[in-house]
Chain A
Amino acid sequence: MRLRPIGAGGAPSLGGRTLAELEPGQHAVVLGYSDQVEPVTARRLFDLGIVPGIEVTMVRRAPLRDPVIFQVGDCEIALRAAQSRHITVEAVR
């Protein structure tokens, strides 16, 4: 099964923020993945539940600043900036 990049074509919103820019405690809603993302990465992010429309909370950084734990729906997932900067989000409030 191949994954169509979600939101491909309809590029992420103007000056779209990415997951990597969130500060601890901030919430955001996932919009999609950036165009440069590898298909394997996109597929795995999807499997992990990081899908458009889901609310994500930045929980905490590792002591050495990377990776970062995000609360995604109902579980906590650690991502490196290398991945989270490919996930476009819209800040909640």
Chain B
Amino acid sequence: MGHPHHGGGAATDHGGGGAAAADLGLTRFAVIGSPNSGKTTLFNALTGLHAKTGNYPGVTVARFEGRMRIGDRETVVVEDLPGTYSLDPISPDEQIVVDVLDTDHHNVRVDVPDALLVLLNATTLRRSLGLLAQVQQTGLPICVVLTFTDDLARRNGQLDVAAFSRALGVPVVPVVAGHRDGLEVLREEMAGYRSWSAPVVPPPTDPAEVTGWAESVLTSGGYRLPELDRRNSRIDSVVLNPVLGTAIFLLTMFLFFQTIFTVAAPLQGYVEAGFAWLGDLVAAHIHIPWLSAFLSQAVVGGIGGVLVFLPQIVLLFVLIAILEGTGYLARAAFLMDRVMARAGLEGRAFVALLSSLACAIPGIMATRSLPSARDRLATMMAAPLMTCAARLPVYILLVSILLPAQARMGPFSARGVVMFALYLLGAVSAMLVAAVFKKFTSRSGPQLPFYMEMPPYQVPRLKTIAAEVWTAASAFLRKVTSIILAATVVLWVLLNLPLRSDAELSAAGVDTGDETAVAAYVIDHSYAASVGKAVEPVFAPLGFDWRINIGILSSLAAREVFVATLGQVAAAENPEEPAQALTEMRVQDGPNAGRPLFDAPTIAALLVFFMYALQCMSTVGVMRRESGSWKWPAIAFSYMFVLAWVLALAARTVVGALV
């Protein structure tokens, strides 16, 4: 996002001049607040689903920006800054807030906003005022947005908003999540940001004085501390109970996966049927054989083969958003802190690892909330081992070949149990790897404090969930229509070239009238087959033949491509029932010729290989950006490949002995 920045002179001019120099001449508002102040909820309420996500230039702190209308048809830009407790940063996220607010503009990477919305959680006012005091030093126009006033009232707290506003010297607008009227008032207030009042003398920021100032402001505002949230402590006494809490945690994680599989299955059926219909339509209306095959197999088949997993990915993000929205995710981090400490990490690294369940990229980016550089590196090295959504299609395909849908283990679906085991194994491996890396990195540097705020339990906001799921789903769709489509097209070409003449086919003993036989012959002798066969010595001990090898090589673009590749190979052998063709695929040569290719030991080896191998160039790219050199991604790629190969061999041997 290349925003032109303000000139030095414009930075002190908060009127029209400053705005004119900004991107597209739009006024910029920045939303500032501590974590749990309801920042994301307000941002979503103001900008709806029109937020753009990206990164701050030079660093990978996620940047959220959206547009909204205020007053009569003026469009403004709203920027959601990372949550911070103070302007004395101890992590890269917090540093960004300081950079953005740096009105002297020593840092030219970011735009200085024209006005600030400072969020204060009404139930934790005393503490939040420290941040406000620091922000007021910037001299930018400030409007305080008071959140959780409903919570304050429910817990018998009190605040006279008008008196509080007078004591602070800045406008104060109470906004209750889910109610439009507060937002309307805020909108009107924002339109007049040029005339926002400011205190004659900004509040003190010296730690010794700020407490006294906060106290006097609260007294003037008639603040009565809310009572202890009984509801919260009652829930916590169960959820964080040593026995019950642990059981609830494990059950939550387990149900998480059962839900993803049972609820998504029928939806996936619809997507599958839809693409099958589309493929038939193409085949029926295009009469140039190669074009028809290209469109129906490579384009429709390739995209369809991966889009089938959209329901599952959406569901995964819905569940994570719900866990986060209710406040349970913070409890999970609290419960897991001691376990994470075993690996030398902290509870927040658990959140980074849990995000990696969606995708290692947001997981690696979430490590920015870790103040310690060593913790960051160790977590970054471990994050790709967490089972990301891209592995999901591969696992689902392989597990469904391995086990019939009706198979059960106790009351649960056997497929669900195996999937759960895969996720668990990935997580345990990630922890072990983090522990090893933490040991090897130096022990120097200051010990940074561990602290975590327990947010109150809440009913998650539909809008927040929708926004998060939309961001994730659209990123997946973009990936499907770009990288994955390109990879499947290239693969289709490699699988179908060189072209064979009828004479050549007849000479090889292929019946040129039998389309399936021709397709099988072409693929078996394609460029892709040569590549797959060339790497056979590496993968032969794992039981992989050239067809699986092409899948593995192509999955370097994105893991999901593995599914599309196998789909293409299978479709050539049995165009009617590609899924059936996979289970019927036979080993073509060697001592095991004629045995099923996808037998239990080979599937086990493949599952383990995909669990450990860093088959994702996007992750490598993000690691390079985050760690600042190629050294760490190179180390990650190598250690993961070695681990994948060795453990896949082990899995094959063990399963082979058992079956």
A interface vs B, CB < 8 Å?
1, 3-4, 6, 38, 40-41, 43-49, 51, 53, 59-60, 62-67, 69, 71-80, 82-83
Chain B residues lying within 8 Å of A1, measured Cβ to Cβ, are 88, 205-206
**Cβ of B520 < 8 Å from any Cβ of A?**
no
Chain B residues lying within 8 Å of A46, measured Cβ to Cβ, are 130, 207
Instruction: Please tell me if the beta carbons of A4 and B123 are within 8 angstroms of each other in the complex.
Output: no
Instruction: Please tell me if the beta carbons of B240 and A60 are within 8 angstroms of each other in the complex.
Output: yes
Instruction: Please tell me if the beta carbons of B88 and A47 are within 8 angstroms of each other in the complex.
Output: yes
**Cβ of B543 < 8 Å from any Cβ of A?**
no
B585 to chain A, nearest CB (A): 48
15 more contacts with CB within 8 A, not counting A44-B86, A59-B233, A72-B127, are A1-B206, A38-B449, A40-B446, A47-B86, A49-B127, A51-B211, A63-B241, A67-B334, A67-B347, A74-B124, A75-B127, A76-B454, A77-B453, A78-B453, A82-B450
Q: Complex formed: what's the CA distance from A72 to B233 in Å?
A: 14
Q: Complex formed: what's the CA distance from A65 to B341 in Å?
A: 12
B interface vs A, CB < 8 Å?
85-86, 88, 90, 123-127, 130-131, 205-208, 211, 225-226, 228, 232-233, 236-237, 240-243, 245-246, 334-335, 337-339, 341, 346-347, 371, 446-454
Q: Name the one of B123, B130, B241, B347 contacting A75, with C-beta atoms under 8 angstroms.
A: B123
Instruction: Please tell me if the beta carbons of A78 and B447 are within 8 angstroms of each other in the complex.
Output: no
Chain B residues lying within 8 Å of A76, measured Cβ to Cβ, are 232, 453-454
B92 to chain A, nearest CB (A): 14
Question: Which residue of chain A is the closest to B206 with respect to CB atoms?
Answer: A1
Chain A residues lying within 8 Å of B124, measured Cβ to Cβ, are 49, 73-75
Q: Name the one of A64, A71, A74 contacting B126, with C-beta atoms under 8 angstroms.
A: A74
Q: Complex formed: what's the CA distance from A4 to B210 in Å?
A: 13
Contacts A63-B246, A66-B337; is A78 near B207 (CB within 8 Å)?
no
Question: Which residue of chain A is the closest to B240 with respect to CB atoms?
Answer: A60
Chain B residues lying within 8 Å of A73, measured Cβ to Cβ, are 124, 126-127, 225
B458 to chain A, nearest CB (A): 14
Instruction: Please tell me if the beta carbons of B452 and A78 are within 8 angstroms of each other in the complex.
Output: yes
Q: Complex formed: what's the CA distance from A6 to B124 in Å?
A: 22
A44 to chain B, nearest CB (A): 5
Chain A residues lying within 8 Å of B245, measured Cβ to Cβ, are 63
Instruction: Please tell me if the beta carbons of A83 and B338 are within 8 angstroms of each other in the complex.
Output: no
Instruction: Please tell me if the beta carbons of B228 and A71 are within 8 angstroms of each other in the complex.
Output: yes
Q: Complex formed: what's the CA distance from A74 to B157 in Å?
A: 11
- Of A3, A38, A73, A76, chain B has the most CB atoms within 10 Å of the CB of A76
11 A-B contacts (beta carbon < 8 Å): A1-B88, A38-B447, A49-B124, A51-B211, A53-B211, A63-B243, A67-B334, A73-B127, A74-B125, A76-B453, A83-B450
Contacts A67-B338, A71-B228; is A82 near B453 (CB within 8 Å)?
no
Q: Complex formed: what's the CA distance from A28 to B120 in Å?
A: 26
Question: Which residue of chain B is the closest to A67 with respect to CB atoms?
Answer: B337
Instruction: Please tell me if the beta carbons of A83 and B453 are within 8 angstroms of each other in the complex.
Output: no
Q: Complex formed: what's the CA distance from A76 to B130 in Å?
A: 17
A59 to chain B, nearest CB (A): 7
Contacts A74-B225, A78-B347, A82-B447; is A69 near B454 (CB within 8 Å)?
yes
A71 to chain B, nearest CB (A): 7
A53 to chain B, nearest CB (A): 7
Question: Which residue of chain B is the closest to A73 with respect to CB atoms?
Answer: B126
Q: Complex formed: what's the CA distance from A77 to B578 in Å?
A: 55
A6 to chain B, nearest CB (A): 7
Instruction: Please tell me if the beta carbons of B335 and A63 are within 8 angstroms of each other in the complex.
Output: yes
Chain A residues lying within 8 Å of B123, measured Cβ to Cβ, are 74-75
Instruction: Please tell me if the beta carbons of B454 and A62 are within 8 angstroms of each other in the complex.
Output: no
Contacts A4-B208, A53-B211, A59-B233; is A44 near B339 (CB within 8 Å)?
no
Q: Complex formed: what's the CA distance from A36 to B335 in Å?
A: 28
**The 8 residue pairs across chains A and B that have the minimum distance between CB atoms:** A49-B127, A64-B338, A63-B242, A76-B454, A47-B86, A41-B449, A47-B85, A78-B452
Q: Name the one of B130, B341, B448, B454 contacting A40, with C-beta atoms under 8 angstroms.
A: B448
Question: Which residue of chain B is the closest to A66 with respect to CB atoms?
Answer: B338
Chain A residues lying within 8 Å of B241, measured Cβ to Cβ, are 63
Question: Which residue of chain B is the closest to A86 with respect to CB atoms?
Answer: B449
Chain B residues lying within 8 Å of A77, measured Cβ to Cβ, are 451-454
Chain B residues lying within 8 Å of A51, measured Cβ to Cβ, are 207, 211
A1 to chain B, nearest CB (A): 6
Contacts A65-B338, A74-B126; is A60 near B236 (CB within 8 Å)?
yes
B35 to chain A, nearest CB (A): 11
Question: Which residue of chain B is the closest to A57 with respect to CB atoms?
Answer: B228
Contacts A44-B449, A77-B453; is A62 near B334 (CB within 8 Å)?
yes
Chain B residues lying within 8 Å of A71, measured Cβ to Cβ, are 228
B166 to chain A, nearest CB (A): 22
Instruction: Please tell me if the beta carbons of A6 and B450 are within 8 angstroms of each other in the complex.
Output: no
Instruction: Please tell me if the beta carbons of A78 and B88 are within 8 angstroms of each other in the complex.
Output: no
- Of B207, B241, B449, chain A has the most CB atoms within 10 Å of the CB of B449
